[in-house]
């Protein structure tokens, strides 16, 4: 079975299912963006995952997720919200793949999908951590504690 052809054929249905699952997740930022925007975002991630699998090149999905992570971080999205968006897409893909792909080809198919989306998740996490590390937390003045004072 040709995994790429299968995913292309099932793509619209997979994206629809992922968008419905994302909507059911009731995430405030994604709700505010609206279902059409969420679906477009999922479709782009799906498209880049296909490119990564077809070309055996994860650079496009990594670059995209780096950009997405920066945008979502600065827009105030919690990392868990973006992670859930990736996860619902992955779950929808797995559901379709497991249903149709022959057992002897399943490990490779799921491995390819998981590798591409895993790279997206890894990039998301690393970028969020980097951005959080660049933020200057206000320093605490603990001098009163060391002087034996308990207030003001």
Instruction: Give the tokens for residue 97.
Output: 């793949």
At 27, give phi and psi (nearest 5°).
Answer: -90, 125
- The Cα 141–Cα 60 span in angstroms is 45
What is the mean pLDDT of each successive set of 10 residues along the chain, which is 152 residues long?
Answer: 94 98 94 94 98 98 98 94 96 97 95 97 96 68 57 50
Please give the helix or strand (H or E) that residue 77 lies within, else none: none
pLDDT given at position 116 = 98
Domains of the chain in start order, with CATH, are 3-146 (1.10.490.70)
User: Is 125 within 8 Å of 79 (Cβ atoms)?
Assistant: yes
Residue pointed to by tokens 């690393």: 126
- The Cα 58–Cα 33 span in angstroms is 27
pLDDT given at position 53 = 97
From the list 11, 13, 21, 2, the residue with the least C-alpha distance to 86 is: 21
pLDDT given at position 140 = 47
pLDDT given at position 30 = 92
């Amino acid at each position: 079975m040709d995994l790429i052809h299968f995913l292309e054929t099932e793509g619209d249905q997979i994206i629809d299912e992922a968008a419905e699952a994302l909507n059911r997740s009731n995430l405030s930022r994604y709700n505010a963006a609206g279902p059409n925007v969420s679906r477009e975002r999922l479709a782009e991630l799906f498209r880049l995952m296909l490119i990564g699998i077809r070309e055996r090149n994860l650079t496009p999905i990594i670059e995209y997720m780096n950009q997405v992570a920066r945008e979502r971080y600065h827009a105030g999205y919690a990392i868990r919200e973006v992670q859930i968006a990736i996860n619902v897409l992955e779950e929808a893909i797995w559901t379709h793949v497991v249903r149709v792909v022959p057992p002897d080809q399943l490990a490779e198919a799921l491995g390819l999908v998981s590798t591409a989306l895993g790279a997206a998740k890894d990039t998301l996490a690393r970028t969020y951590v980097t951005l959080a590390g660049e933020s200057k937390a206000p320093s605490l003045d603990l001098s009163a504690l060391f002087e034996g004072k308990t207030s003001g």
